[in-house]
Structure 1
Amino acid sequence: MEAMDFYYANQQAILTAVGALSGIIAHNAVYIRGEWHVQAPQITIQLFALYVGCPVLAQTLKDTAVAGFLQGVIFWSYGYLPGLIASILLYRVFFHPLTRAGFRGPWYARCTKIWHMWAARGSKNHHVLNDIHKKYGSFVRTGPAEITVFHPDVFMAVDGPRSECVKSEWYDILHPGQALVTARNKSVHAIRRREWNSGFTTKALAEHEAKILKYVDKLDQCIEQDAKLQKVTNMRDLLLWFGFDIMGDFVFSKSFGMLENQQWHHIIVRLQRALSLLGPFSSVPWLIQVGFNLAPRVSVLKDWFDTVAWCQSQMRDRLENGSSSQSQDLSYYLMEKDSEGHGFSENEKWHWAAGDSLLAIVAGSEPTAVALIAVFCELGKHPEHAEKIHEEVKNVDVTDLKTLVNLPHLNAVMKESLRLHPALLTGGNRKTTEFGLTIGDQFIPPNTTIVAPRYTIGRLESCFEKASEFVPERWTTRPEMVRNAAAYAPFGTGHHSCLGKTLALDTMKYVLARILKNYRFRAAPGDDSLSALETVKDQFTSNPGTLKLQFERRHATD
């Protein structure tokens, strides 16, 4: 009996040792190569079957030959996962190219990105990275295969015309769906971007800007109504309604009607909730894939999928029933305008358009609204700049873009606000290819994710004098305060720059010129600190806090 027990114990030990060896081999032969985040749901299912399914099945089929086999698999599994994890950790901590290159950073960042998800809870990733920069310098290891770069040359290095970097794993967020913003393959992205370009020609922009003025009128009417009643204006809500209304018209020729109804559209409420997922979970794209594919679709996950489905239904409705507008919308340029030679079939174009409709609503609406919220917040803190802009606009036609483009202080205030409060605080990660990348004098090894936090880089004292202060004159009469203009990249660089940059800047000019010509404003009682920007959340795009202002109509003699 003792001999039999010894035999089984020895057999169990051998199976466990073989399992551990299998885990080490699996890591070094398979998992160490390529990307596995998209396969994370399948791997999770396999591990669940191995560690939960096998024991349950073995117990159900006990005293059978199958149960004996399953028992062997269970003993093997006792070694497999520990062996796999140990091999991964040993490699990351001691043998990874980033370790050999001597990059500094939190010791636990070598092991996993889970720490980052925890640290960024509450969507404060921009503060997390800013604090890391203060402690570790310009090149910091913030993950097993990730370097966060706080250097002004990073934008041109990762997105410039000579860069070979690709978009990071985060951009597979819509997998298996596609969208221009999430396209990781450079040639595919270039083809799709050419189709988008047709929607941003001079003629197309003129049509879009004519629509914008209609919504500027509605925004003005909402503010005027509050001013007459001496009522506090929730500027955050108004500007987000304004941005989403414009983008609905721009994409589908169908406004969300929020400015007109002065209430949130149900799908935008759900979209706002869904985007909270992108705060803490952006640092762990594999966990996003697991959640989207395996977690029950309840709460914010349900909001995400319902929003995606709604955008797809709106695109389908738009294509089936046509546009009610006399001018052309983005759907026309992406789906209806002849795009022969661009390389997509009608079915492929539909799948792209379905993804693009969601990304256009998010990427087109929020950044412009957030940028305007930032400007109003800064002008509320520095009213002398509001008065300077008023002096520029009080005797001009604020619907004439050619005039607005040439107003120096208006444009300087916008530029300074975008420097301090970029819509993309930390997002937009890139990944080096097998050739690696040099930024400044620092070589970044191959297959390394590069994070370039605009929030911190735009506030580097080495690049801007009085970097944390709001000084619009640095862009006009005090150019010496800009020490390195490469640090200013709120709309991205090169082929990955924001297509809607011109449209966004024009929209901001129209709004600011109209409102500052007609109104004075100050912080509403109880919000003297104008804390909207202090409570901003980093959810890939930024999500500011409440901004309440008190408007007063100017007299004709002002």
Structure 2
Amino acid sequence: MGPPLATTLPTTAVVSAILLHHLILKRFEIDHLVLHLTATSWAAYAGLVSVVGLQLATSTAFSFFAILSVTILVYRAFFHPLRDFPGPFPAKLTKFWAVWKTWDSKFAFFKQVHPELRRQYGDYVRTGPREISIFDVKGIQPVLGFTSKMEKGPYYDVFERSLHLNRDHIWHRQRRKVWDNGMKQSLSDYGPRVEEFTSELLDRIERTNGQSVTLNEFCIHYSYDVMSALVFGRSMGFNTGQSSDVANRIIQIIADSLHALGLMCHIPWLMKALGTLLSSAGPMALWEDWTRDQLAERRALKDPRPDFMMHLLEGTPRSPQGDRLLFGESRLIISAGSDTTANSLTCIFIQLALHPHLVKELRQELECGGYSCLRPQPVLDSIINESMRVWPAVFFPSQRVTPPEGLQIPGGRFIPGNMIVTIPAFALARDERNFARPDEFLPERWTTRPELAMTKTAFLPFLIGPYTCAGKSLAMMELRSVTARVMAEYDVVLPEDFDATKFFGGIEDHWTTGVPKQKVRFVKIAK
């Protein structure tokens, strides 16, 4: 007669937990299976309850998950391939450490915690159970460059598929051709549209009559109008005061979600699970329904003005799968493209308000050399670049996974295979080894004083390599257009009690950069 179930079941659970970790969890990435595994676990538990009763089923489940947890933690702390890399001990055990540090730092993980980790531990820091953050510029090309053999990390499995959110490099390369050809063909046609929206913004500024307004609001409304017209052939109508209630709710939904995204970007498996559960209900359902309606209306347009969606429609098969791809990419373009540009514009205007000598130089350049949003100009572009160096539009570093054979950083360390690697662009841009006086706003480092930018390759506002931002040219068009034309006609005047240290200290790192709301006055200059 064999041992009773009260002994065999917990023992079997212990052995199963150890085998599960050794044979599967330490060898394969299962982040995308969280919901499946959760449902399977509950189903197995319910089935066990029906066979052996609640008490024995619960003790068996407890034995399994307790031993599994201990096995995982001991392995991560003492036997993991990254065990010799320095870093905070809690970070070796769980990425929830990063979630806690994000909350504890008031959403300043990437602008405060990362630089401190570099100073304390060096250029190669273990910031997660299988994650290394590299602060060494020698790692930029091997990790992010065109010759890199690395794939995207698990963060790119969250939400719906798009050019940005996918990990299939072959599919990405094919889809990127559609985007690049579309951007190349549409940008010259779209330049006048950008200027039209800038004219609408100037009209709105004119109507303020020099009264105090919220700068962020003007910038975000402008960028959403531009991007929605680029995608769906017509703007949301914010600048002209014709926005719908649905459009107003959507922009608020996105704003309200940023803190949650700022926490969950560290744990993409939870981000994906919650996104799947909430995609068909609540605020996100409104966002998805609006996208579907707008895409249907865009398809029905006769002889639309040139826009980017024309090229996406031509390059996407008409099928349920193709439609889902267009839904995902249109939401990506509008949300990511709008928030990043708006935050960059806000920071640029604040910097110019604080540095009137730069405004004078910019106006002189515009008076002497003319202006076009399609071409770079030394002073204008130096102001834009320096603002993005000091306060990038996105703090979250792009994830990559090392190939199975590992990765040797030339002149640096060897990273074992199948490990997540990030290169924190903000920390590199604020590193005194790369930029002299890195915390100061000095646009001349991009023009007349190149010695202030010792390592320009550490400037990564749009990334580099095959995954560089596809909308870089459009973003620069918007930034040039608004900065040049507004500053040619107006002074941006801050309140007398404005505290620059408090303002910039209040910038948060969410999924995108969170810039504090700031009141300003647009004062017409005498000509």
Report the TM range for the smaller structure's normalisation.
over 0.9
1:131 aligns with 2:131: no
1:28 aligns with 2:39: no
CA contact (8 A) 2:353 2:491 kept: no
Partner of 1:236: 216
For residue 397 of structure 2, the aligned residue among 420, 423, 427 is 427
Q: Supply the distance in 1 between the matched residues of 2:341 and 2:139 (Cα, whole angstroms).
A: 24
Partner of 1:82: 66
For residue 200 of structure 1, the aligned residue among 183, 198, 210 is 183
For residue 17 of structure 1, the aligned residue among 11, 26, 30 is 11
Q: Supply the distance in 2 between the matched residues of 1:79 and 1:530 (Cα, whole angstroms).
A: 52
For the residue of structure 2 that corresponds to 1:39, the secondary structure is helix
CA contact (8 A) 2:32 2:272 kept: yes
Structure 1 residues 262 and 535: CA distance shift in structure 2, 3 A = farther
Gaps of 5+ in 2: none
Partner of 2:148: 163
CA contact (8 A) 2:349 2:492 kept: no
Residue type at the aligned position of 1:391: Q
For the residue of structure 1 that corresponds to 2:517, the secondary structure is coil
Alignment of 1:489-500 (within 5 A): 489-500=460-471
Residue type at the aligned position of 1:322: L
Structure 1 residues 106 and 530: CA distance shift in structure 2, 3 A = closer
For the residue of structure 1 that corresponds to 2:421, the secondary structure is strand
Q: CA deviation at 1:517?
A: 0.9
Q: Supply the distance in 1 between the matched residues of 2:280 and 2:94 (Cα, whole angstroms).
A: 27
Structure 1 residues 190 and 297: CA distance shift in structure 2, 3 A = closer
CA contact (8 A) 1:166 1:432 kept: yes
1:329 aligns with 2:307: yes
Q: Supply the distance in 2 between the matched residues of 1:490 and 1:186 (Cα, whole angstroms).
A: 22
Cα deviations across residues 248-267 of structure 1 (Å, max 9, x unaligned)?
00000121111111877221
1:441 aligns with 2:412: yes
Partner of 1:189: 172
**Structure 1 length-normalised TM:** 0.88
Structure 1 residues 313 and 433: CA distance shift in structure 2, 3 A = farther
Percent identity of the aligned residues? 28
Q: Supply the distance in 1 between the matched residues of 2:64 and 2:229 (Cα, whole angstroms).
A: 55
**Structure 2 length-normalised TM:** 0.92
For the residue of structure 2 that corresponds to 1:261, the secondary structure is coil
For residue 225 of structure 1, the aligned residue among 197, 200, 207 is 207
Q: Supply the distance in 1 between the matched residues of 2:7 and 2:268 (Cα, whole angstroms).
A: 36
For the residue of structure 1 that corresponds to 2:137, the secondary structure is coil
Residue type at the aligned position of 1:250: L
- Look at both structures and tell me which one has the larger radius of gyration over its CA atoms: 1
Structure 1 residues 147 and 11: CA distance shift in structure 2, 3 A = same
Structure 1 residues 31 and 494: CA distance shift in structure 2, 3 A = same
Partner of 1:260: 240
Alignment of 1:136-535 (within 5 A): 136-174=121-159, 177-201=160-184, 203-226=185-208, 228=209, 230-261=210-241, 265-294=248-277, 302-319=282-299, 321-322=300-301, 325=304, 327-335=305-313, 337=314, 339=315, 346-394=319-367, 397-398=370-371, 400-401=372-373, 405-406=376-377, 408-439=378-409, 440-529=411-500, 531-535=502-506
CA contact (8 A) 1:424 1:454 kept: no
Partner of 1:63: none
Residue type at the aligned position of 2:107: S
Q: Supply the distance in 1 between the matched residues of 2:524 and 2:459 (Cα, whole angstroms).
A: 35
Cα deviations across residues 86-127 of structure 1 (Å, max 9, x unaligned)?
21112111111001xx10001011111111112112432212
For the residue of structure 1 that corresponds to 2:167, the secondary structure is coil
Gaps of 5+ in 1: 59-65
Q: Supply the distance in 1 between the matched residues of 2:373 and 2:43 (Cα, whole angstroms).
A: 62
